[in-house]
Structure 1
């Protein structure tokens, strides 16, 4: 059963409303900055799983619009970026590149050790390591099929899907609390002034004052990011260079906003921020309601233990390595939160964690530059290279 796009969007909005209400009603969810998309989206995806289990019908959502929303969001990130922020983020990105490789190594080491202790194939440790966690569902399926065909590891694909789904949930539940704890413990605050839209508050109602001309300008610039980004994407693909479409749109946004600033053209960035917030929330809502929770029905025993250990490892790495190396400041706390979401689940989960923090504690432009660039293509390349290298070791190559 396929749920069409309009209904998918409507359900995603309902999930977000539920998430906001749950977070306001349950104190610790608000205190520890669990993203509303996670709390509301998991409730909807659980309901979908129950319907699937009781009716024996597979429910799938049309997610084509979700990809466009992601490009829209990253276009607004690019349009809000400044050369100064990019230069400042360069050092942090360089550090994070090295830490990403360390994360992949620790994930595979943890998974392999746990598998060996349980008397299972060490290949299961790779499936429960960087393949499914840092790699996500697509990588888990690809490597899982290879392990089934060439190493005879039974149900490797389904185990990979289970690990990847559990990682998405864990990343959203752990990243926000860790980031909030770092911010409170170290009394950190944002050094960037938030761009607030003019508004009128009347009781619990907020009315935003937005000029139509500013909104049209924002839509025009985002459309240019789409169009020019798609052109650049196609041009690079012709040379065999594969980059995510949202990354080229973000780069075009950076060029546009800094180019216009150079020729002294003034842009009202507040409507751009509003479009970015809206597209991100809808993207996250659609992503969370479509989680295949039924794949977690086998997440007992060894799989649960491995996931618990992986969550502990990445949390310790974020707190005691990432945060200190990045300077123990507010940006470092936000990046640490995003690092956990990205490392256990996917880049959008990391963004959701950072969004929950910045909505409450203030903006962190550096975090929104570093985590997307890190998760867009580098970590996938590093992950594939590392897994290939590990499979050449005797402990793995002698399996099957």
Structure 2
């Protein structure tokens, strides 16, 4: 047994992110499927650890105590990016898309729990293969997995991350072809009446003072959010993870700042902190998974994810496409919906970019999908997931 301390684990997570980045840039299939670099690097380490253990060479033990810190920091930056003026600009279609994503989270959990009973596994493992890892992606799987494991369910993080990886691949494989099918079947063309594109840009250079202000806002939201989570749990007996509390406190902080101290939030710096936090958090989560624990659940896991894929494709084609207007923009949004509904927002952006690169622009899709997929989705998704976890804990 080799025990790797906290600092060395942190170094390894950064190194594995850099290795993963190099691999994604050089290996076509990883780049095409938009597999995140920390997932590639972390999973590579997990595979090596599996080989070393199974061959009897050595077993590696990692101190991942810093993982929670980076996890909460990432979700806090998501909350700080949630400006109400973005929601207003998207109008009715954004609200419809948002509600549809909330409904999807509910159905994904129903599918996961129902099939877990069919396969004879714990319902919370079904939840981990539901909205947690489908709409939540690797970040959601690693975050909620820790909450589920704290309830005594072993391998929850491993199952969630495995499901998220499968979802990521299926989300990339289905998004473009389904949108192409809708576009060609209905002979759709880009709208001449384009919505003015809103992109939240911040051209201010990174400075020490401004950067420390963003750090102060992030840590303030993290601190208040963790107390809020503990208070809520103590008062209700309902588990509210600290990162969810931090995210909602950050949302309030963001919009108060926009109202009373405009210009204080620097999204360039916030996004930088969020990207770094997410990369380290995911690297640690992936590198620490014990692949030997998931072997016995491979068939149930694949079965649940496959049903999730079939449902979301049918739902996107026959429901979402109609609700969003049965036009070209709706078809492009379908490709994004499949991307983040099964994987992550970068998948959605990659899917839509491929579609518009072939058929023409869709400013409406590029406004609505990132806003909902990046942070609004958690407004519905988080309560649904937390409620489901508490129902079956």
In structure 1, how many angstroms separate the alpha carbons of the residues matched to 2:109 and 2:261? 44
Work out the CA distance in 2 between the residues paired with 1:50 and 1:261: 52
CA drift of 1:281 comes to 1.1
Distance 1:90 1:303 in 2: 35
Superposition deviation, residue 15 in structure 1: 1.8
Residue of structure 2 in register with 1:84 after alignment = 85
Distance 1:254 1:243, change over 3 A: same
- CA–CA distance in 1 between the matches of 2:273 and 2:285? 18
Alignment of 1:5-20 (within 5 A): 5-20=6-21
Contact 2:102 2:377 in 1 (8 A): no
Cα distance between partner residues in 2 of 1:358 and 1:15: 29
1:39 is aligned to 2:40: yes
Corresponding residue of 2:361:
none
Q: Which residue number corresponds to residue 173 of structure 1?
A: 169
- Decide which of 201, 212, 220 is 1:224's aligned counterpart: 220
Q: Which structure 1 residue ranges, 5 or more long, are not aligned? A: 113-121, 146-156, 199-208, 342-349, 389-400
| 2: CA distance, partners of 1:290 / 1:123 | 26
230, 234, 255: which is aligned to 2:230? 234
User: What's the TM-score, normalizing by structure 1?
Assistant: 0.70
Inter-partner Cα distance in structure 1 for 2:307 and 2:125: 8
Q: CA deviation at 1:260?
A: 1.8
Counterpart contact for 1:33–1:180, Cα < 8 Å: no
Three-state SS of the structure 1 residue aligned to 2:82 is: coil
Per-residue deviation at 1:221?
Answer: 1.0
User: Once structures 1 and 2 are overlaid, which stretch shifts more, 183-192 or 23-32?
Assistant: 183-192
For 1:73 and 1:140, locate their aligned partners in 2 and report how far apart those are by CA, in whole Å: 19
Q: 1:22 to 1:356 in 2, by over 3 A?
A: farther
Report matched runs for 1:92-107 at 5 Å. Answer: 92-107=97-112
Structure 2: gaps of 5 or more residues = 133-140, 184-188, 325-329, 357-365
Cα distance in 2 for residues equivalent to 1:377 and 1:251: 12
Partner secondary structure for residue 210 of structure 1: coil
Partner of 1:339: 341
Which residue pairs with 2:262 in the alignment?
Answer: 265
SS at match of 1:276: helix
Alpha carbons 2:73, 2:274 under 8 Å: kept: yes
Superposition deviation, residue 59 in structure 1: 2.5
Residue of 238, 242, 246 corresponding to 1:245: 242
Find the aligned partners of 1:257 and 1:246 in 2 and give their Cα distance.
16
Give the Å deviation of 1:42. 1.5
1:365 maps to 371
In structure 2, do the counterparts of structure 1 residues 255 and 308 end up closer, same or farther at CA, with 3 Å as the change threshold? closer
Offset of 1:73 from its aligned partner? Answer: 1.2
Q: Which of these residues, 204, 208, 213, is aligned with residue 209 of structure 2? A: 213
8 Å contact from structure 1 (residues 35, 172) kept in 2:
no
Aligned-CA RMSD value:
4.0
Verify the 8 A CA contact 1:197 1:271 in the aligned structure 2.
no
Report the alpha carbon displacement of residue 249 of structure 1 after superposing the two structures with TM.
1.3
The CA distance in 2 between the partners of 1:178 and 1:77, in whole Å, is 27
Within 5 Å, give how 1:306-325 maps onto structure 2. Answer: 306=303, 309-310=306-307, 312-313=309-310, 316-317=313-314, 319-320=316-317, 324=321
Distance 1:143 1:259 in 2: 36
Across the two proteins, how many residue pairs are aligned to each other?
Answer: 347
Mapping 1:269-288, distance limit 5 Å: 269-288=267-286
Give the equivalent residue in structure 2 for 1:116: none
Deviation per residue, 1:309-333 (Å, 9 max, x gap): 3464355356436753673376664
SS at match of 2:55: helix
- Shift in Å at residue 103 of structure 1? 2.5
Match in the other structure for 1:22: 23
Contact 1:38 1:288 (C-alpha < 8 Å) held by counterparts: yes
